[in-house]
Structure 1
Amino acid sequence: MFRYFGGACADLLLTLISIVILKIYFETFFEQDKRGIIGEFFWIFYFMWQFILGRTNVLPAYINVMINVFLVSMLCINTYEGGILQKIVFSVLINTIWMLAEFLVGYMFVLCGIHYMVPQFWGSLFSKLFTLFMIICLKKFFQNENVKDLSNKYNITLLLIPIGSMFVVYNTFMLSVDINKKVHIKESLTSLIIILLINIVIFKLYLVMSKEKELEKYNAVYEQQLELCTQHMREKENIMMDFRNARHDIKQHVIVLIEMLDNNQNESAIDYLRKLINIVPLNNLGISRTDNIVVDSLINAKYAIALKEKIKFNVDIHIPMQLPFYSADLSILLGNILDNAIEASLQVTEDNRYIKLFMKFEMNVLIITVVNAYNGKLVKNRNGKIVTSKAETGYHGIGLESVQKVATKYHGSVVVETKQKVFTIKVILCDLS
C-alpha cells in the first residue's frame, strides 16, 4: 500500500513538472487566449494523460510521442493566441527537445553501465529537470522578444527539422544501445547534442525570420508613404503652377471688375466673382489640408478612391503639422481603417455610401473616429475578432489586428461599435514620452 502511494506521489510530481514546463514554455512565446474554457479542459486532459502514462506505460514509444505531440498541439491551439501552424511548430519543438533530453539522460545511464529502462523514475525526473532548465534559459533569452507568425511555407519547412530529429535520434539511440559499444554510444551522444543544438537554434531562426517579415511589412508601408508623398508633392506643384498662371491673369480680372463697378454693373460683377471662385486653385488641394504630409497624402489618396466609387467622404481634422507618432504606424492605422471603410461602403447601394473621418490631437492624445455604412454583416475569425473579407490583405495585416497593435504600442485603445448598419471605430493613441 505504501509502495503504491509512493509511486502515485512520484508520478504526480513528474506530471506537475510537465505542466510547469509547458506553462513556462508557451507563455514565453504566446499570449494567453482570454476565452480559457476549452484550454482548461485540455490542461486537465493533458494532466490525466501524463499521470496515466507514468502509471501504465504499455503503448509503444512512438505511439506515446504521437499522442503527446497531438495533445500539446491541441492544448496550445485552444489556450493561446497566434497562428495554428505556428503553434504546431512550437508544440513539436518542445516535444522534440523533451524527447532529446530523455535520450540524453538515457545515454548517461548506459555509459554508467545502467540499463536505460531500469531507473524509470529517475530517468524521467532528470530529463524533465533538464528540459525545464533549457526552457528557463529560452525564457531569459526570448522574454523581451515579439515572435511573429510566419507564412505557412516557412512554418512547414521548419516543422520538418524537429520531426526529422525525433526519427533520427530514436533510431540512432536504439542502434547504438543494441550494439552496446562505448565508442558508438559516445559518437551517438555527440550526434544527439548537435541535433539538440540545431533544434534550439530554430527558436533564434524563427525570431530572425519573423523580424525580417516585420521589416518587410514596414518597408512596404514606407514605400507606400513615399509614393503618396510624391503624389502629394506633384499635386502641390500643379497647384503652384495654377497660382502662377492665375497671377498673370489677376490684373486683367481686377480691371474688368473695376470697370463693372464704375458702370454700376453690380450683378455682373458678382457673377464674375462667383466664376472666379470656382476656378481658384485651392479647390484642388484635396479634402485634408493639415500640412502633415503623411496624414494628408494618405487621406487624400483614399478620398480620391472614395470619389471614384461614389462614396460621400467628409472629414473634420484638427491636428498639428507634426505628430509624436511614427509615420509608418499612422499609415498602417489610417490605411487599415479607411481601406476597411471603403470596402464596407462598397457593399451597400450608391445612395447609402458614406465615410466620416474625425481626427483631433489634444493634450498629447490623438483621437481618430471613422463612421461608415456597411451591410450589417461582419466576418469574424474563430476567436470572435472582426477580420477583413478582402482576398488580398497586403501589408496592412488582417482585419483590425494591425490597428490594435498600433494602439497597444502607444498605450491606447480601439473601440468598435455596430448599430443599424452603421460601423464606428474609435482609436486613441497616447504620447507618454
Structure 2
Amino acid sequence: MALSTYEMVYLITNIFGTYIVYKFMHIFFETKEVNHRIEFLSYAGYYIFIALVYLTINIPVVTMIGNIVAYFGLSFNYKAGIKRRLLSVLMIYLIGMCIEVIVALLSGYFKYSLITVNNYSSVYGLFIFQILLYLVIRILNNYKNIRKGEIIPLANWAAIIIIPISSLYIILTLFQATGLSWEQILIGVVLILLVNFTTFYLYDVISASMVDKMDKILLGQQNKYYQKQFELMESSLKTTKAMRHDLRNHLSVIYALVEKGERDAALKHLAKMTDVYDDKKQYACTENIDIDSILNFKIQAAEQQNIKIALDLSIPEKMDIPSFDLAIILGNLLDNAIEAVADLEEERQIKTNINYDKGRLIILVENPYQGERVKVGNRYLSTNKEPSQHGLGLENVKSVLQKYDGSMDINQRSNIFSVSLLLFV
C-alpha cells in the first residue's frame, strides 16, 4: 500500500517527535546511570510502535492509550519511583495533546472524534506542532528541580497529579460535548494548557522547597555532630588537665604504699585512678574531625539505648569529601542500624568499619535484626513510624554516592543486615 504525502511527512516529523519525547523525559529524570544503548533502542522501538499504530489503526483513543503505555515503558530507562513516573507520563502526554489539539483547531480541523479514524491531513500542522512542542521543551528545560520530585510528600504529590488527570478528562469531554463552537473548545484547551504549565512550575517550586528543607535538617544535624565533638574534646582536655594536676599526688601515695610493701593497697589506688580517668566508653579518635564528630554523636545515641557500636577505623586526617556528604552517609546508615538493633533483646551491637586506601573510601555497617526486611523495588523499608520516610535513608545515601561514582552493596544473611559502600574520593 502506497503512503500518502501526509503519512510520509508524519513518519519523517515523528522522528523529531521521538527526540522531543526523549528531551521531555530528561526534564523529569536523572540520566547519570542510564544505559545509552538500551535507551536508544527503546526510543527506536517507541517510534516504530507509534508509527504502526498510526498506519494500521489511527483511532485517537487507541493512539492515546498506546502513547501513555509507551511513555511509561520509556520511563524505566531511568531510576525513579512510581510517583515520578506516573506524573511525568501524564504531564508529557497532556502537554503534547493540548498543543496538538490547538494546532488542529487553528488549521481548520473541527471534527475530532475519539473512536473513529483520524482524518486530519494538514502537513503544515505537523511541522507547526513539532516546532511548538520543541519550544515548550526549551522553556521547561529551565526547571531543574523537577528531577528531585521523589522527595515530595505523598499528599502533595496526589494534589498535583489530580490536575493533569482532571485536565485530560475535561479535554476528552469537550470533544464529546455538543453545541460548542471550535473557538470555545480552543479557549478551553489553551486554559487547560496554561493550568498545567502552572502545575509544572509549582511542582518544580515544591521540589526545590523540599530539597532546601532537607538540606537545612541535615545541616542542623551536622551542627549537632560538631557540637558533640567539641564537648567531647573539651571534656577530654579537662580530664587530662585534672589528671596532670593530681598525678604527682597520686604517684606520691603509690610510691609510699609500694615502699611500705602494701602491694594490694597500691593496686587498689591504681584501680580507683583508672575508674576516675577512664570512662570505659569507646569513642572515635582518628583526628578526622568530620568522621569523629558524626560517629561520637551516634555512639552516644546508641549507648543511651544500651547499644554498642564496634569501630574499626583506618582513615587520614583529611579526605576530599565534604562533611555534609559524610553526615548524610554515616548518619543515615547508623540511624537505620540503631533503629533495627533497638528492637532486639540480645546481640545489641553494630559493627562499623571505615577504611581509606589510595583514593578509595570503604564503609561497612553491619547489624543484627529480627523479622523480615521488606523490599519494595530497589528500596528496603525501615521500621520508621513515619511511612513517608520508609527507605529514604538509603535513597539519600545513593544520591550522594552518585557524586563519587560510588556503589552500594546490601546483604542480609542469618539475620545480619549489612550495607557496604565504595566511594572514590
Q: 2:23: which partner in 1? A: 24
Distance in 2, matches of 1:146 and 1:320, equals: 35
Deviations 1:106-141 (A, max 9, x none): 24323xxx7676643537623652355236525754
Q: 1:410: which partner in 2? A: 404
Distance in 1, matches of 2:247 and 2:3, equals: 106
Deviations 1:13-48 (A, max 9, x none): 5765554443332244225787x99xx999969965
Residues 1:393 and 1:334: Cα distance change in structure 2 (over 3 Å):
farther
Of 135-144 and 283-292, more deviation after overlay is shown by 135-144
Counterparts of residues 3-402 of structure 1 (less than 5 Å):
13=12, 19-31=18-30, 48=49, 51-53=52-54, 55-57=56-58, 63=61, 67=65, 70-72=68-70, 74-75=72-73, 78=76, 80-110=78-108, 119-120=120-121, 122=123, 125-126=126-127, 128-130=129-131, 132-134=133-135, 136-137=137-138, 141=142, 146-149=147-150, 150-166=152-168, 179=181, 185=183, 196-243=193-240, 246=243, 249-280=246-277, 282-283=278-279, 286-346=282-342, 348-350=344-346, 352-375=347-370, 377-382=372-377, 384-392=378-386, 398-402=392-396
| Aligned-residue CA RMSD (Å) | 4.2
Does the CA-based 8 Å contact 2:363-2:422 persist in structure 1? yes
Shift of the alpha carbon at 1:215? 1.6
Deviations 1:244-285 (A, max 9, x none): 5555544432331221133233443233223212211x5367
SS of the equivalent of 2:261 reads coil
Shift of the alpha carbon at 1:419? 4.0
Does the CA-based 8 Å contact 2:27-2:147 persist in structure 1? no
Does the CA-based 8 Å contact 2:288-2:317 persist in structure 1? yes
Shift of the alpha carbon at 1:216? 0.9
Does the CA-based 8 Å contact 1:25-1:135 persist in structure 2? no
Does the CA-based 8 Å contact 1:317-1:359 persist in structure 2? yes
Deviations 1:182-212 (A, max 9, x none): xxx4x97677556545534544443332222
Q: Percent identity?
A: 25
Distance in 1, matches of 2:43 and 2:343, equals: 41
Distance in 1, matches of 2:259 and 2:424, equals: 59
Give, as a single letter, the amino acid of the residue that structure 2 aligns with 1:162. P
Residues 1:234 and 1:41: Cα distance change in structure 2 (over 3 Å):
closer
Does the CA-based 8 Å contact 2:6-2:123 persist in structure 1? no
Does the CA-based 8 Å contact 1:412-1:428 persist in structure 2? yes
SS of the equivalent of 1:378 reads coil
Give, as a single letter, the amino acid of the residue that structure 1 aligns with 2:325. D
Deviations 1:213-263 (A, max 9, x none): 112112111111222333333344444454555555444323312211332
Deviations 1:151-175 (A, max 9, x none): 2222233334434555666777899
Distance in 1, matches of 2:6 and 2:226, equals: 71
Does the CA-based 8 Å contact 1:316-1:357 persist in structure 2? yes
Distance in 2, matches of 1:191 and 1:115, equals: 14
Shift of the alpha carbon at 1:400? 2.1
Distance in 2, matches of 1:179 and 1:302, equals: 68
Of 130-139 and 359-368, more deviation after overlay is shown by 130-139
Output the TM-score relative to the length of structure 1: 0.76
Residues 1:124 and 1:420: Cα distance change in structure 2 (over 3 Å):
farther
Residues 1:43 and 1:385: Cα distance change in structure 2 (over 3 Å):
farther
